[in-house]
């Protein structure tokens, strides 16, 4: 009969331990897990990206509900263990459930430390440890605008960045003179603070909070020096407190946390503890890597495998917030026996300090350029003698290159810190599953599945493991261009995560091969940045293709076409006269009705294009752009005896509502007044067929070299519903499409069912349409500002002496 293994806790450390036990011996235990949160196991360190709007709660789930069922794990969720009866070997919950055990693992984690100052219990004061904390902060940001984060450590800065992303004005209050004093020295901390201040984060340094004041809800903080700051939200990020009360009440030895030996065993041989609630050799760890290491050791012990036990961890820290990259590990501050190698590049904003004792690295502090982090930390952990290295190039081998020798990395070394994946786990997965690409390794092991910073190392392990079978081109093929191996999704995620604001910054921070980029990534990054930051990003015209820069399509003879906007193919006598006059003045060789029912001027000389647009005094038809180009429509019920609805009016309205906003590629839409389909809408990116009872909607068609007939979406009753779904559809394409990808291959890649699912959810539709409207507002404002600038330029040109 299987032995009964009970775990109190459903967090990262505990669940990883269970994963490792199942990997070693699935049938050894009958497993019960007790978790007080109403969620399955999730990645707590990814709450910051959720707060920053870069990912969702669903996407940070590590093991979903099906995982428990498929592994025969009995999960008691929303139940809190309240008593351990060691004599009877039972655990009691707050719901009265009694769970017997043979072996018990305590993995209760920790809680956010709340400063015990007056007002700490006011509404609007929160820690930052759980999904509920994060939800509270997101909801607060919708109603209020001023936040204070107490604590300038790793978690505090990530929380501050997240609240800024939610539109709040944020002050960070810190007791000491510089930020992240446990991970950075003063020089690196100064660089970090300067970069964050440049992004709008505000700091109140060397401030001791004495009171949180407010009438029912927080209104501000007072400090020991008599000053104060107003706010609507206070986030406590001043440390954590191990949840050890349950063990203490059970009579187990507890210091700062639950005391354990090298096998993670408490003073009761049948009870173990792992994670933030455990104290090993006087140390309670709060970072994920050592917690996973503890879980692995305990899994070996509980499944009868030989283990040397847990010997403690050398800690390293990385911060990836708003483009401020830092890495630190080991000793941070020099002493009498320690010498420092320091390299600072003020121009590039980078700082590197390596602390050395007896020819061995004992500490690393990197800011700005952290590419050496893994290599240097590996040397630190191994205690390697560095006499053969030159310090001038920051410990690269003299005459050698800077690439870490993958073969020298031990199997138990952590490669992916976010998910605690070791080299051994990656190599094992490659060999056992026949993996050949980074994406396959990520899917199986989760390495690189969070921040993606370890991708290069994972690919190096792939290459070393596969040898001659490694296909480098297969790895590069996933990249968005020849400058990088990162995919579109990884680049967009990194822009969100790091708060990158310009194409050049993106290329530098993400390590593109060329800081200037290439003809493929320059326009793509320009699009992604404007899509992600519609309010703050200024369109880089120089990164656009020549057609977009000239607002006209280049013809084979080097001249350009100029095609004004004509909604629904309609125009006015005044516009017709003006078109004729301009065509005559500039000797335009061809004036033609286009396939999109507009009048095009073909053969305009390059130097005449700006003047032609100015004298036409008409909006651009965007015939050159990656955006909505036109909406083709028939006359519908206005004139046609078969018309069921006003297709012409709807087509004009649709064009006016969707125009101007950039998309990954050009888009064409159509509205036909009846199923006879005179407007040929079933090969459009978005098509509308008017019928007696409403409007049939279609998506993902293409009439080009590879014809694709539209897929049916739904039928709606009103024009307003058509417009709403059209906006949601375009925004969904904007947010998930690859730059240069038409909707037909996009739909094929994402799946028609996925598109239907997304556009069948009212909440998703509302959110997508709202984001589209927000983007359009910024495009309209930028367009109006450009017109005003042009008018001022003309006035200045005329009036200047």
Quick: pLDDT tens for 406-449: 666 777 777 877 677 888 888 888 888 888 888 788 878 878 76
Q: Indicate whether 409 belongs to any domain.
A: no
Beta strands in 86-180 (DSSP E): 90-93, 98-100, 103-106, 110-112, 125-126, 146-150, 169-174
* CB 400 within 8 Å of CB 388: no
Q: Indicate whether 517 belongs to any domain.
A: yes
The more confident residue out of 103 and 55 is: 103
The verdict on 785 and 661 lying in the same domain is yes
**CA torsion, ordered 767, 768, 772, 778, to nearest 10 deg:** 50
Among 183-197, 210-224, 455-469, the least confident range: 455-469
The more confident residue out of 55 and 720 is: 720
**Closest residue by Cα to residue 783 from 623, 560, 622:** 622
Among 55-59, 98-102, 628-632, 773-777, the least confident range: 55-59
The most distant pair of C-alpha atoms in the chain lies apart, rounded to whole Å, by 101
The span from the CA of 571 to the CA of 389, in Å, is 74
Q: Indicate whether 116 belongs to any domain.
A: no
Per-residue model confidence (pLDDT) at position 205: 96
Q: Indicate whether 93 belongs to any domain.
A: yes
Per-residue model confidence (pLDDT) at position 448: 74
Q: How many domains does one find in the chain?
A: 6
C-beta neighbour count of 407 within 10 angstroms? 7
The span from the CA of 266 to the CA of 530, in Å, is 55
Q: Which of 541, 568, 591 is the C-terminal boundary of a domain? A: 541
The verdict on 533 and 514 lying in the same domain is yes
Per-residue tokens: 671 = 């509205």
The span from the CA of 350 to the CA of 333, in Å, is 18
Per-residue model confidence (pLDDT) at position 390: 58
The more confident residue out of 65 and 704 is: 65
* CB 321 within 8 Å of CB 314: no
The span from the CA of 471 to the CA of 596, in Å, is 46
Q: Read off the pLDDT of each residue in 184-191 and give the average, rounded to a whole number.
A: 91
The span from the CA of 537 to the CA of 526, in Å, is 9
* pLDDT of 21 higher than 60: yes
Per-residue model confidence (pLDDT) at position 402: 41
Q: Which of 404, 439, 454 is the C-terminal boundary of a domain? A: 404
Percent of the chain with pLDDT over 90: 41
Work out the mean pLDDT of the chain and round it to a whole number: 86
The span from the CA of 65 to the CA of 5, in Å, is 19
Distances (CA, A) of 711 to 130, 674, 687, 730: 41, 18, 10, 15
H or E, element range at 2: none
* pLDDT of 400 higher than 60: no
Q: Indicate whether 410 belongs to any domain.
A: no
Per-residue model confidence (pLDDT) at position 717: 92
Per-residue model confidence (pLDDT) at position 558: 74
* pLDDT of 634 higher than 80: yes
Q: Read off the pLDDT of each residue in 340-346 and give the average, rounded to a whole number.
A: 84
The size of the chain, in residues, is 801
Per-residue model confidence (pLDDT) at position 568: 78
Per-residue model confidence (pLDDT) at position 212: 97
* CB 182 within 8 Å of CB 328: no
Distances (CA, A) of 250 to 95, 174, 269, 766: 19, 37, 13, 52
* pLDDT of 391 higher than 70: no
C-beta neighbour count of 613 within 10 angstroms? 20
DSSP secondary structure, 394-434, as one string: TSEETTS-S---GGGS-TTSEEETTTTEEHHHHHHHHHHHT
The backbone torsions φ and ψ at residue 710, rounded to the nearest 5 degrees and listed phi first, read -60, 155
Sheet with 98-100, strands from edge to edge, namely 81-85, 90-93, 98-100
Give the helix ranges, DSSP H, for 12-130: 12-24, 47-51, 65-70
Among 90-99, 103-112, 556-565, the least confident range: 556-565
The verdict on 611 and 650 lying in the same domain is no
Output the CA angle 285-289-293, nearest 5 degrees: 90
CATH of the domain at 588: 3.30.70
Handedness of CA 736, 740, 741, 743 (dihedral sign): positive
Q: Read off the pLDDT of each residue in 7-15 and give the average, rounded to a whole number.
A: 94
Q: Which span out of 29-38, 418-427, 662-671, 672-681 was modeled with the highest average pLDDT?
A: 29-38
The verdict on 791 and 686 lying in the same domain is yes
The verdict on 144 and 229 lying in the same domain is yes
H or E, element range at 62: none
The verdict on 248 and 196 lying in the same domain is no
The span from the CA of 248 to the CA of 637, in Å, is 80
Q: Indicate whether 715 belongs to any domain.
A: yes
- Reported as a single tens digit per residue, the pLDDT across 564-613 is 878 877 888 888 898 889 889 889 888 888 877 788 888 888 888 888 88
The verdict on 437 and 363 lying in the same domain is no
Per-residue tokens: 356 = 């050395």
The verdict on 12 and 27 lying in the same domain is yes
CATH of the domain at 525: 1.10.10.1100
**CA torsion, ordered 659, 661, 665, 669, to nearest 10 deg:** -30
Q: Read off the pLDDT of each residue in 162-181 and give the average, rounded to a whole number.
A: 93
* pLDDT of 763 higher than 80: yes
Among 144-153, 546-555, 739-748, the least confident range: 546-555
CATH of the domain at 283: 3.50.50.60
What residues are paired with 718 via a beta bridge?
none
The span from the CA of 264 to the CA of 398, in Å, is 43
pLDDT band of residue 792 (cuts 50, 70, 90) is: low
* pLDDT of 680 higher than 90: no
Per-residue model confidence (pLDDT) at position 678: 86
The verdict on 525 and 419 lying in the same domain is yes
pLDDT band of residue 801 (cuts 50, 70, 90) is: very low
pLDDT band of residue 159 (cuts 50, 70, 90) is: very high
The more confident residue out of 160 and 327 is: 160
Per-residue model confidence (pLDDT) at position 260: 97
* CB 508 within 8 Å of CB 515: yes
Instruction: Assign 294 to helix, strand or coil.
Output: helix
The span from the CA of 488 to the CA of 687, in Å, is 27
Q: Read off the pLDDT of each residue in 469-484 and give the average, rounded to a whole number.
A: 67
Q: Parallel, antiparallel, or unpaired: how do β-strands 258-260 and 278-280 relate? A: parallel
Q: Read off the pLDDT of each residue in 168-177 and give the average, rounded to a whole number.
A: 95
* pLDDT of 94 higher than 90: yes
Q: Indicate whether 310 belongs to any domain.
A: no
Percent of the chain with pLDDT over 70: 92
- Please name the residues in contact with 104: beta carbons below 8 A apart, sequence gap of 6 or more: 5, 6, 7, 8, 84, 89, 91, 270, 271, 272
The more confident residue out of 3 and 393 is: 3
C-beta neighbour count of 54 within 10 angstroms? 22
The span from the CA of 246 to the CA of 106, in Å, is 9
Per-residue model confidence (pLDDT) at position 449: 66
Q: Indicate whether 30 belongs to any domain.
A: yes
* pLDDT of 398 higher than 50: no
The verdict on 634 and 604 lying in the same domain is no
Among 38-47, 364-373, 687-696, the least confident range: 364-373
Does the pTM surpass 0.75? The reply is: no
Q: Which of 599, 625, 651 is the C-terminal boundary of a domain? A: 625
pLDDT band of residue 101 (cuts 50, 70, 90) is: very high
Among 148-162, 235-249, 469-483, the least confident range: 469-483
The verdict on 791 and 642 lying in the same domain is yes
- Reported as a single tens digit per residue, the pLDDT across 277-305 is 999 999 999 888 889 889 999 999 999 99
Per-residue tokens: 482 = 């020849």
Q: Read off the pLDDT of each residue in 688-696 and give the average, rounded to a whole number.
A: 90
CATH of the domain at 340: 3.30.390.30
The backbone torsions φ and ψ at residue 181, rounded to the nearest 5 degrees and listed phi first, read -65, -20
CATH of the domain at 705: 3.30.413.10
Distances (CA, A) of 156 to 235, 289, 760: 8, 20, 38
Residue-range definition of the domain harbouring residue 613 = 545-625
The verdict on 636 and 740 lying in the same domain is yes
- Please name the residues in contact with 305: beta carbons below 8 A apart, sequence gap of 6 or more: 24, 299
């Amino acid at each position: 009969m299987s032995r009964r293994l009970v775990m109190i806790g459903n967090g990262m450390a505990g669940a990883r331990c269970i994963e490792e036990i199942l990997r070693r011996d699935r049938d050894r235990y009958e497993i019960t897990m007790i978790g007080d949160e109403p969620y399955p196991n999730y990645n707590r360190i990814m709450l910051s990206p959720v707060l920053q709007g870069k990912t969702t709660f669903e996407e940070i789930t590590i093991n979903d509900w099906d995982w428990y069922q498929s592994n025969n794990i009995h999960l008691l969720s929303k139940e809190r263990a309240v008593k351990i009866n060691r004599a009877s070997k039972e655990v009691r919950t707050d719901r009265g459930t009694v769970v017997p055990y043979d072996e018990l693992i305590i993995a209760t984690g920790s809680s956010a430390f709340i400063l015990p100052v007056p007002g700490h219990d006011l509404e609007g004061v929160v820690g930052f440890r759980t999904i509920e904390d994060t939800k509270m902060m997101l909801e607060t940001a919708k109603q209020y605008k001023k936040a204070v984060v107490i604590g300038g450590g790793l978690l505090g800065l990530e929380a501050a960045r997240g609240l800024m992303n939610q539109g709040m004005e944020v002050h960070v209050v810190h007791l000491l003179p510089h930020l992240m004093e446990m991970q950075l020295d003063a020089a690196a901390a100064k660089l970090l603070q300067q970069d964050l201040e440049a992004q709008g984060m505000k700091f109140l340094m060397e401030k001791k909070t004495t009171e949180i004041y407010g009438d029912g809800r927080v209104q501000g903080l007072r400090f020991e020096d008599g000053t104060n700051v107003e706010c609507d939200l206070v986030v406590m990020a001043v440390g954590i407190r191990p949840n050890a009360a349950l063990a203490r009440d059970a009579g187990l030895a507890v210091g700062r946390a639950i005391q354990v030996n090298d096998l993670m065993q408490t003073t009761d041989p049948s009870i173990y503890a792992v994670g933030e609630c455990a104290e090993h050799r006087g140390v309670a760890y709060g970072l994920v890597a050592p917690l996973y290491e503890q879980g692995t050791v305990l899994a070996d012990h509980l499944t009868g495998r030989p283990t040397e036990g847990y010997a403690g961890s050398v800690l390293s820290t990385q911060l990836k917030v708003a483009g401020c990259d830092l890495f630190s590990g080991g000793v941070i501050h020099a002493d009498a026996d320690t010498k420092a190698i320091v390299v600072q590049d003020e121009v590039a904003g980078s700082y590197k300090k390596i602390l050395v004792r007896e020819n061995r690295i004992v500490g690393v502090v990197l800011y700005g350029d952290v590419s050496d982090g893994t290599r240097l930390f590996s040397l630190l952990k191994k205690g390697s003698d560095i006499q053969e290295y030159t310090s001038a190039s920051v410990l690269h081998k003299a005459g050698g290159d800077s690439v870490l020798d993958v073969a020298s990395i031990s199997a138990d070394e952590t490669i992916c810190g976010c998910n605690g994946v070791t080299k051994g786990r990656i190599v094992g997965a490659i060999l056992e599953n026949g993996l050949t690409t980074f994406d396959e390794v990520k899917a199986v092991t989760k390495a690189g599945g969070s921040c993606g910073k370890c991708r290069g190392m994972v690919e190096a392990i792939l290459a070393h493991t596969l040898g001659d079978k490694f296909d480098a081109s297969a790895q590069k093929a996933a990249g968005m261009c020849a400058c990088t191996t990162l995919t579109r999704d990884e680049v967009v995620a990194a822009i969100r995560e790091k708060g990158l604001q310009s194409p050049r910054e993106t290329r530098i921070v993400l390590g593109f091969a060329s800081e200037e980029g290439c003809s493929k990534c320059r326009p793509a990054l320009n699009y992604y940045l404007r899509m992600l930051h519609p309010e703050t990003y200024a369109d880089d015209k120089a990164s656009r293709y020549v057609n977009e820069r000239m607002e006209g399509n280049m013809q084979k003879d080097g001249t350009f076409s100029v095609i004004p906007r004509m909604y629904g193919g309609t125009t006015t006598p005044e516009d017709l006269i003006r078109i004729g006059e301009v065509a005559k003045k500039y000797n335009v060789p061809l004036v033609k009705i286009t396939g999109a029912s507009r009048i095009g001027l073909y053969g305009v000389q390059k130097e005449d294009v700006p003047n032609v647009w100015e004298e036409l005094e008409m909006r651009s038809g965007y015939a050159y752009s990656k955006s909505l180009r036109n909406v083709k429509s028939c006359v519908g019920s206005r004139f046609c005896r078969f018309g069921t609805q006003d297709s012409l009016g709807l087509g004009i309205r649709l064009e006016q509502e969707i125009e101007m906003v950039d998309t990954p590629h050009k888009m064409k839409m159509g509205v036909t007044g009846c199923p006879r389909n005179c407007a040929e809408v079933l090969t459009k990116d978005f098509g509308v067929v008017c019928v007696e009872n409403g409007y049939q909607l279609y998506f993902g068609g293409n009439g080009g070299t590879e014809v694709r007939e539209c897929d049916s979406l739904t039928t709606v009753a009103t024009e307003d519903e058509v417009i709403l779904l059209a906006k949601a559809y375009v925004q969904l394409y904007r947010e998930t499409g690859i730059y240069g990808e038409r909707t037909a291959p996009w739909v094929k890649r994402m799946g028609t069912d996925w598109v239907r699912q997304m556009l069948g959810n009212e909440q998703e539709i509302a959110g997508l349409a709202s984001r589209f409207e927000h983007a359009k507002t910024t495009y309209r404002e930028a367009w109006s500002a450009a017109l005003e600038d042009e008018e001022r330029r003309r006035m200045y040109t005329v009036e200047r002496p």
